[in-house]
Structure 1
Amino acid sequence: MRPVTTDSASRGSRPRIAPGDRPLPAIIAHRGASGYRPEHTAAAYELAFALGADAVEPDIVATRDGVLVIRHDVEISATTDVASRPEFAALRTTKEVDGAVLTGWFTEDFTWAQLATLRCVERLAALRPLSATFDGRYGVLRLSELLDLVTAASARLDRPLGIVAELKHATYFDSLGLPLDELFPAELAAAGWDRSAPLAVESFEQDILVSLAAAGVDADLVYLVEAHGAPADRVARSGAAARAYDDDVTDAGLAALAACGLTGVSVDLSRMLRTTGDGALVATDIARRAAAAGLQTYCWTLRPENAFLPPSARLGGGPGSPGDWRRVFELVQRSGAAAVFADHPDLAASVRETRARE
């Protein structure tokens, strides 16, 4: 990565994902309308905008030849048909990625031409069998194709549509000679992507966001905060002594993020809601405290299935059945969040519309 500084003065005035002149929170389709179609496919992104999403969230990783592609992770056996493709059998391997040992097929071992031959499958087939009926219908997208798709959808629907780009495993890719903080701005420039379109960049690693700020990348820069653990860039430097994500959501930690030129913090649902001693589900004060530091708060991920809801919001029917999702969605939307990620953008939008009529 580039040397890290805190000078963000060269960034421009691109529209925000969650501007103050529109109803909040902004609805970000998590990997597209991934509750209805296999994630990160053209169909998932097209459907997301049709269902009312303000922006879509691609997870971005790199190929061996430096092309940015859109996949949930570097290991792709759960989201493509690669395991059934004999021509790629020799590429199966075991690697350590950010401290986790993984066996499978990795994007950085493929050229874009090879990845482009794969077909996408539903990652959560047991929970979302309807989405799995679309397995094999869509190919892997590269970032430039999604930029074209968003531009076309914005013109067709006559409203500003944005992208919240998650740069995955930045430290890992940097170690392979594939610096995402250089590849991402280069792809935006090569695509000539519309500077009037809302753009945010997010990462679980602060270093790459600060690097992008220093480079003058014109985007909201949003730091992702896990429910537990420590970020990979800090672990790479400090090992077991690395500061945890918990430190980033203290008042001092939030102020430090803002001082580095970041504009937002995006927290796991468990940091936005908590269960009281008598079993009630209530919002935390994270959005209020982030706003006091000058940061917008995003929340991930709103999903209606029991498997993803807090225990007190789960209903009968099994993990794939809908729980009391509306109560959870309403609590998050009333918490002060500027934007929410949702696998089913229509459900999140329906809650926002109900609140707007109050």
Structure 2
Amino acid sequence: MVRRLLIAGLLAAGAALGAGSAARAGQPEVIARNGTAITFPEATLAAFDLAILQGADSLRVDVYQTFDGVLVIRTDRNLAATTNAASVLTPPGPIKGEPAPIGFPIDFTSYQDYARLTARQTIPGRDNSFDGMFSAPILEDLLVLVERRQSERRRTIGLLIVLHDTQVHAARGRPMEPRLISTLQKYGFAASPDVLIGASEPSSFARLGGLQGRRVFVLGTPNSRPADAAQTGDRRSFADYATADGLRSVRNFADAVLVDVQDTLGGLDDGAPVPAVVGNAKAAGLQLFIGGYADADNPVQPRRAAIAAYRRAFDLGADAVVTDEPARALAARRHGH
């Protein structure tokens, strides 16, 4: 009961904070990564709802697909990493022609089994008292929530939908992209300019066809390659894509690039040289999104230091920041611009 009252209080406080806080024209966007994930378990409807009520302009939504083709919201392919899968599910068996899975991969799991799961906090040091309280949602659950909140609050709530393991499903003959398009059409989001589609696999963008909305190329760790490299024959690493030539090639299939504040930008420390990727992205005609704030690799900082970090990103010309703590990023934008 105490936890439920706390949730109600947090959401009520968020409602007060978020009134009228949508991004104004010409200002950088604040995108909540899988909700306000410093408060509730990430990628739950509670976390997304709090981010909306705090005034986040958009939500980053990490989407995977179950074995039987349902689009679900998680932040790790292995369900044991973010849910109670290890205690309620039987480890999945192999799929013909593929290696036996390790753990509980989403793409080896049926929706019937997925629907039994509850989410848990994944980052050490954060409040885990909400573990087991919220179900692991599917994409349709979030679209219903966003539709309702847009109507209630009379403002647009953007979505950055990041697709994962797209090559896995394409190779099995069950690509994710047509399912995404039909789902967005079902809820009236397919033609929205505020719905962005992200991926780390360039071939995924080709399967989106004529779907409207900006495409966002998500850069992985510098020394790794996109998961579709073997199929496309493109052996470039993400570090190669971050160069001036690489970003010019990205402009052929994407409108923006999402870089990690730690992996790609070295943390954006005060006084450090402006990372080359900033100018290279702008020169290539790409919008620049900077993510990784307050996540597992970038611990939550004291308020003053956190706001200074967001201001530096805005001052460098970032078009958006992606963060687990949207309220602080919004405060930095209010006071710095």
TM-score scaled by length of structure 1:
0.79
Q: Check conservation: 1:92, 1:105, Cα contact below 8 A.
A: no
**Offset of residue 92 of structure 1:** 6.9
**Offset of residue 236 of structure 1:** 4.3
Partner residue, 1:329: 310
Larger relative CO (CA 8 A, sep 6+): 1 or 2?
A: 1
| Partner Cα separation in structure 2 for residue 92 and residue 168 of structure 1 | 21
- Pairing 1:1-358 to 2, within 5 Å after superposition: 22-85=25-88, 88-91=89-92, 103-124=102-123, 126-128=124-126, 130=127, 132-193=128-189, 195-196=191-192, 198-212=194-208, 215-228=209-222, 229-238=224-233, 242-260=235-253, 262-270=254-262, 271-273=264-266, 280-303=271-294, 308-309=297-298, 322=302, 324-356=305-337
Q: Partner letter of residue 203 of structure 2?
A: D
Residue by residue over 1:310-329, the C-alpha shift from the partner in whole angstroms, topping out at 9 and shown as x without a partner, is xxxxxxxxx66648323322
**Offset of residue 194 of structure 1:** 6.6
Residues paired across the two proteins, number: 313
Change in Cα spacing, 1:352 to 1:257, as seen in structure 2 (3 Å) is same
Change in Cα spacing, 1:49 to 1:274, as seen in structure 2 (3 Å) is closer
Identity %: 26
Question: In structure 1, the residue corresponding to 2:132 is in which secondary structure?
Answer: coil
**Offset of residue 291 of structure 1:** 2.0
TM-score scaled by length of structure 2:
0.84
Unpaired runs of 5+ residues, structure 1, are 1-18, 310-318
| Partner Cα separation in structure 1 for residue 133 and residue 170 of structure 2 | 33
Q: Partner letter of residue 149 of structure 1?
A: L
Q: Check conservation: 2:191, 2:213, Cα contact below 8 A.
A: no
Q: Partner letter of residue 45 of structure 1?
A: F
Residue by residue over 1:45-103, the C-alpha shift from the partner in whole angstroms, topping out at 9 and shown as x without a partner, is 00001112001111111112211111112210011111111xx2243779999x9x962
| Partner Cα separation in structure 2 for residue 274 and residue 282 of structure 1 | 11
Question: In structure 2, the residue corresponding to 1:103 is in which secondary structure?
Answer: coil
Q: Pairwise CA RMSD of aligned residues?
A: 2.9
| Partner Cα separation in structure 1 for residue 30 and residue 85 of structure 2 | 32
Q: Partner letter of residue 267 of structure 1?
A: V
| Partner Cα separation in structure 2 for residue 216 and residue 61 of structure 1 | 21
Q: Check conservation: 2:308, 2:332, Cα contact below 8 A.
A: no
| Partner Cα separation in structure 1 for residue 193 and residue 160 of structure 2 | 11
Unpaired runs of 5+ residues, structure 2, are 1-21
